[in-house]
Structure 1
Amino acid sequence: MVSLAPGILLIADPFLKDPNFARTVIFVCENDEKGSFGFVINRLFDQTLDSLIPDVIYPGIPVYYGGPVQVDTIHFLHQLPDQIQGGVQVVPGVYWGGRFDDVVELLNQGALDLQKIKFFIGYSGWTTGQLEEELREKSWIPSESTPSLVFESREQQIWQQALRNLGSNFAMMANFPIDPSLN
């Protein structure tokens, strides 16, 4: 079993009913004695970055719903440590945060590879022991992450692909209906 650590993915169990997390994949950024937090990487938000941040003039950059906590904040993951100063490496190839003013300036100049950065509104967070309890209840399937899956732009395929990456026992779960009673 994969241990709970920064950089793992939490794949929602196919039958998880919580509307905040049904069929989601969360990239965990921190897990310590104070709790855990990460971002839902496969749920597109209904507004773009330029509509949320007036200083961003580059249009149409997608924003993802990172989770239900502090939905008045913007966060980002990236693969651009040479361009974005101040980021924290979560795992090789994935950095969290950095100097946001620099990001806005680089975006407005068209100087960032938009395939290597993902923006989130809000985040997913757990208090000490809460996530461990949810794992015991089998709400989440932990998995190793890959930068290619974290930065996948076809968000509707991430949950299924994350399950398929776990092997044949999980691959069939990727095709389970949301509500089997409707079959």
Structure 2
Amino acid sequence: MVGGLEAGMLLLASPDLLDPNFADTVVLLLDVNDEGALGVVLNRPSALPVSEVLGEWGDVVEEPEVLFQGGPVSTDGALAVALATPGGEDAVGFRAVADRLGLLDLDTPTELVVGTVERLRIFAGYAGWGAGQLQEEIEEGSWYVVPGLPEDVFRLDTRDLWRDVMRRQPGDLAMHATRPADPELN
């Protein structure tokens, strides 16, 4: 854990975040250390089927069977986020991030994955922050930091993910779920 952040937590873009790459996004943190942080945007599905880019992985991924836009960094690369079966955390190619949630090496033959992974989603690119950068953005009010659930990663329809995650938060934070996009128009 670095500065109260740890892998498995979610970042929800606040209305104060002006970067269009992250407007209304939910980011799953996959790695947090003294050198920075890395995560993937959970609610930006593309129209590109996984099978067109990664062949047989299209048969293994969660529906919708499309690549998700994981972030603006290294969009020509892919990260696979998986939920291991109970006991599957030690499977070939799987690196745990938070409990049974982890990263799956896409060089692993798919036949070795069957039975060790319950759910899988593939992201093109990722979101990355240098040392101290994410903490600064949080202090500026650009992100809400909340606990994540495996269901958040693998939702079929991600359009309302930001609002649904916000609604389950305690206290005043849940009120942001009903906030209009432009409060001045209210």
- Paired with 1:65 and 1:3, the residues of 2 have a C-alpha distance of 26
> Is 1:67–2:74 an aligned residue pair?
no
Q: TM-score, length-normalised on structure 1?
A: 0.84
Code of the aligned partner of 2:93 = G
Please identify, of 117-126 and 10-19, the stretch whose mean Cα deviation from structure 2 is larger.
10-19
Deviation at 1:176, TM superposition (A): 1.9
Give the match's secondary structure for 2:29. strand
Change (3 A) 1:149 1:91: same
- Paired with 1:71 and 1:47, the residues of 2 have a C-alpha distance of 13
Per-residue CA shift, 1:34-67, capped at 9, x if unaligned?
Answer: 1110101111123121222356564961221110
Contact 1:12/1:141 (CA < 8 Å) preserved in 2?
yes
Change (3 A) 1:50 1:114: farther
Structure 1 stretches lacking a partner, 5+ long: none
Match of 2:96 among 81, 89, 99: 89
Contact 2:82/2:117 (CA < 8 Å) preserved in 1?
no
Matching residue of 1:35: 36
Matching residue of 1:98: 105
Give the match's secondary structure for 2:51. helix
Matching residue of 1:5: 6
> Is 1:79–2:86 an aligned residue pair?
no
Contact 1:15/1:178 (CA < 8 Å) preserved in 2?
no
Per-residue CA shift, 1:121-172, capped at 9, x if unaligned?
Answer: 0000001111010011010011111112222222112111111121242222
Matching residue of 2:126: 123
Code of the aligned partner of 1:93 = R
Please identify, of 78-87 and 26-35, the stretch whose mean Cα deviation from structure 2 is larger.
78-87
Matching residue of 1:47: 48
Contact 1:6/1:91 (CA < 8 Å) preserved in 2?
yes
Please identify, of 122-131 and 74-83, the stretch whose mean Cα deviation from structure 2 is larger.
74-83
Q: TM-score, length-normalised on structure 2?
A: 0.83
Matching residue of 1:176: 179
Matching residue of 1:26: 27
Task: Map 1:143-162 onto structure 2 (within 5 A).
Answer: 143-162=146-165
- Paired with 1:89 and 1:76, the residues of 2 have a C-alpha distance of 12
